[in-house]
Structure 1
Amino acid sequence: MALTGKLTKKLVENLGPGRHGDGNGLYLVVDPSGARRWIVRVTVKGQKNAKGAPMRTDFGLGGADVVTLNQARDRALEYRRMAKQGLNPRFNAAREIPTFEEVAQQVHIDRMPTWRNTKHGQQWINTLRDFAFPKIGRIPVDAIGQPEVLMCLSPIWTEKHETARRLSQRIKTVLDVARSKGFREGENPVVAIRDGQVLPKVRKKVTHHKAMRWQDLPAFYADLQGREAMAAKALMFTCLSGSRTSEVLKMRWEEVDFDARLWTCPAERMKGGEDHRVPLTDAMIEVLEPLKALESEMVFEGQKRHRPLSNMAMLMLLRRMGVEGVTVHGFRSTFRDWAGEVAGAPREVAEVSLSHKIGSEVERAYARSDLLDRRRVLMERWSDYVTGESGDIVRLHPSRSAQ
Structure 2
Amino acid sequence: MSFIDRVYSVSDITFYIENLFLGDPKLTDVTVAGEVIDCKSRNGHLFFSLRDDYATIGCILFGGAYMGVSIMDGQMVQVTGDVRVYALRGQYRLLCKRLKLLPSRGTMFLKLKETYERLSKLGLFSKPKKSLPKFPSKIGVITSRNSAAFQDILRTISERFPFVKVVLYHTAVQGEEAKRELMKALLDANSDELDVVIIARGGGATEDLWLFNDEEVVMVVHSMRHPVITGVGHQIDTVLVDLVADVAAHTPTAAAQYAVPDIREIVEKVRHSLKLSFVNLMTTWNNANERSKELLKEARRNSIDLLQRFEMRLKSKFGELKSLLEDRIDSLERNLELLRIKLDLLNPMNELNRGYVIVEKNGVKVRSKNELNENDILLLRFHDGSVRVIVDEDRRIDERT
Q: TM-score, normalised by structure 2?
A: 0.24
Whose strand proportion is higher, 1 or 2? 2
Q: TM-score, normalised by structure 1?
A: 0.24
Pick the structure with greater CA Rg: 2
